[in-house]
Structure 1
């Protein structure tokens, strides 16, 4: 059964008004109206409801953020209660109880293993700004603990956000090539999840990282990676031994290790943090997306004590060691209250365990698609899954997502990789609907393009 794709006057008029005034991210507006964008009016649980009353399963957690589903009553109540007490106060020179409590909660949940204990929290606004802060912390740390090290080591195909520092340590030419003349100095190594490297891709990546650190280690202030899986690359998962090697090599050359857990944190990979799969702890950890359950923009950098200690002024210092970085809404109390409620519900209802089971079920249900002639590969970790379809046109991935939408499931592609990343508490019937709609959509697109 499919949903009618005939747009009513209501949605048509809203799209026209949007096209007249709005500039959307990652959007080619020359085709925006013809692509019939969904005009979302409200949401409940895993469902998005458009202005015409049509319901769509949110198959990508509203860009990988929704943990418990939309409009969860306990998170709603927490935000409302906080709003009645304190809407906002600057974090420069004042503090507040939800910001303190959230920092304590994040530190208590931080990954443990080979590496330092993470003991301090610096708040930011979104994933990119958390990465930006972490890069500046790493560089200033090197400056204040010996000598400034100007280089960062990054993975090819990496994605860490779209501010200039985050772009510099990314590896997506489609997104970043235009800005290369403006960027920081980085050294790239092959991605351990890159299938083009063959069966020995992890060993190849480790060898390349070892070689880079041997050549540039004394100039490198930090190595930055997305642990266990590279999301925007197309869900390229990789072996945990790479993270253990990165920890060893960063330590050997006096560099910091940064884990970007903006996408992978808060249960997405079946553990609270992706780093737990490897038993490794970084010096700096960035998080965002799922921190508030998709409610409000908030992110954070978790830092090890030795990093924080380098920013403390001491007698005889010739200059300030302060980290001069922040923004107006740093640690906004409404955001912190939403995050606290989200993390409390996650703990009480074992949402991380639910996510692990959901990931296993999704992979099992998707297994038959691996033999589909239109499917090149299915890959991922936990609830972070990519279904790569074989291109038959310039926009095959997009066409599959449009066909799924007609079946009541909202998905978004990364090129020809269709991303499957639903809320972590998705029920069995809704999981079945998601996979069935995707399978039927792939069939529809294959049939239509064969006929063409």
Structure 2
């Protein structure tokens, strides 16, 4: 074993060598050094702002829905490690991947019957796009190669996903001109419970109809737009998209990477609309935050279409596709979720966030407070001072990760009422100081 390093030595090496997401190199602010985690708490290697542990209000970017160091998931990982941690998926298969694929088919919308296991959420979107493009090429319609989405979205950091993120003011605006040129509808009107705007529905239908000859697919985040702005919209627009795509011969893709596995109060956000996509992307909470894994599901029609082409295979194959360790933990995580009344737990958190965040609406600089399922958002009328907001939350004993004009939380489903109240207080504190 190497000699242990002090927290100071680790942070110095981190600054010298480690490039953090959406950060400069070297970093301007030292990250917090986590020594261990269990339940909903991150234990710091040395105290910060008088705190030596923080309640995690982010579920580690929305993935750790069961919290940390969960015995069920630990047992699944240990048991699989004793059998094999990895084996290539080309020409081989194994029980964890087969069980997981069957599980995903069983719990997802009925038309989705086939599962491609990928490495990460962004890669699952790449696979979804490739499925759609290859489907139309196999059917002799190679002109259908563009994508339509609405503004305010975020689908990942690799190439095709970046092309369907909002091109104006989005996280990947830098790459406009180099990325494939896609078609953007206006952002959906805000409000999960708002009555559908018929003019906006007509806008969607007209745009899909006008570009149908060149459209391979429409891709959207159903009900909740995540990192693009944490906004909620009426499920009715998903029904509009389904009807318009069917009418004009366009595939429909739902990116459920952030919304899947109960986050919005439904197991999958598509259930709020009662519609099924042709292709669906899953990730984040799939393994309960233990390992990187994602999945792209599709209908039999899509799979058969690809199989009838000149190249009758899906031309994609990640090295760690179907990783047994990740698949075993994912299957255990889904079993754990479904073995309990997860819907009631999400509803309990929703009630706690509504009550706890209500005072933020009266704070100076706050534009809106919104809550849906286990998601709470405070939107400011200005760019958040990220450093000040983070410090304020840490002083309250909570870890948050504000961005742009947003201070938000997506806590693990096991978060107790007292900790939900603590997270809410931290969000309000961050809004005051950020």
| TM-score, length basis structure 1 | 0.89
Paired with 1:194 and 1:178, the residues of 2 have a C-alpha distance of 26
Contact 1:398 1:415 in 2 (8 A): no
Give CA deviations for 1:126-175 in whole Å, capped at 9, x if unaligned: 11000000000001111112412021101112100010100011115442
Identify if the C-alpha distance between structure 1 residues 400 and 85 changes in structure 2 by more than 3 Å, giving closer, same or farther.
same
Question: Residue 363 of structure 1 is aligned with which of 354, 362, 372?
Answer: 354
Q: Match for residue 179 of structure 1?
A: 175
Deviation at 1:418, TM superposition (A): 0.7
Verify: 1:284 aligned to 2:263, yes or no: no
Matched position secondary structure for 2:307: coil
Matched position secondary structure for 1:387: strand
Matched position secondary structure for 1:311: helix
Question: Residue 67 of structure 1 is aligned with which of 46, 58, 65?
Answer: 65
Paired with 1:152 and 1:270, the residues of 2 have a C-alpha distance of 29
Verify: 1:156 aligned to 2:145, yes or no: no
Identify if the C-alpha distance between structure 1 residues 202 and 224 changes in structure 2 by more than 3 Å, giving closer, same or farther.
farther
Structure 2: runs of 5 or more not aligned: none
Q: Match for residue 422 of structure 1?
A: 411
- Output aligned runs, 1:251-262, within 5 Å: 251-262=246-257
Q: Match for residue 50 of structure 1?
A: 44
Paired with 2:346 and 2:170, the residues of 1 have a C-alpha distance of 31
Contact 1:401 1:418 in 2 (8 A): no
Verify: 1:400 aligned to 2:389, yes or no: yes
Paired with 1:326 and 1:72, the residues of 2 have a C-alpha distance of 31
- Output aligned runs, 1:31-110, within 5 Å: 32-33=27-28, 35-52=29-46, 54-110=52-108
Question: Residue 326 of structure 1 is aligned with which of 311, 317, 320?
Answer: 317
Paired with 1:22 and 1:69, the residues of 2 have a C-alpha distance of 26
Which ranges of 4 or more aligned residues in structure 1 deviate by more than 6 Å?
Answer: none
Q: How many residues align?
A: 422
Contact 2:357 2:425 in 1 (8 A): no
Matched position secondary structure for 2:102: helix
Matched position secondary structure for 1:310: helix
Paired with 1:24 and 1:10, the residues of 2 have a C-alpha distance of 20
Question: Residue 304 of structure 2 is aligned with which of 305, 309, 332?
Answer: 309
Deviation at 1:24, TM superposition (A): 1.2
Paired with 1:440 and 1:186, the residues of 2 have a C-alpha distance of 40
| TM-score, length basis structure 2 | 0.93
Matched position secondary structure for 1:157: coil
Q: Match for residue 21 of structure 1?
A: 17
Deviation at 1:229, TM superposition (A): 1.0
Contact 1:10 1:52 in 2 (8 A): no
Identify if the C-alpha distance between structure 1 residues 360 and 265 changes in structure 2 by more than 3 Å, giving closer, same or farther.
same
Give CA deviations for 1:209-236 in whole Å, capped at 9, x if unaligned: 1121221112111000000010112211
Q: Match for residue 125 of structure 1?
A: 119
Contact 2:407 2:430 in 1 (8 A): no
Paired with 1:71 and 1:202, the residues of 2 have a C-alpha distance of 45
Paired with 2:389 and 2:173, the residues of 1 have a C-alpha distance of 28
Identify if the C-alpha distance between structure 1 residues 205 and 399 changes in structure 2 by more than 3 Å, giving closer, same or farther.
farther
Paired with 1:344 and 1:39, the residues of 2 have a C-alpha distance of 32
Paired with 2:76 and 2:195, the residues of 1 have a C-alpha distance of 49
Contact 2:196 2:237 in 1 (8 A): no
Deviation at 1:179, TM superposition (A): 1.7
Contact 1:266 1:352 in 2 (8 A): no
Q: CA RMSD in A?
A: 1.9
- Output aligned runs, 1:176-325, within 5 Å: 176-193=172-189, 202-313=197-308, 319-325=310-316
Moved more, 173-182 or 422-431: 173-182
Matched position secondary structure for 1:123: strand
Paired with 2:224 and 2:208, the residues of 1 have a C-alpha distance of 22
Matched position secondary structure for 2:46: coil
Structure 1: runs of 5 or more not aligned: 1-8, 447-452
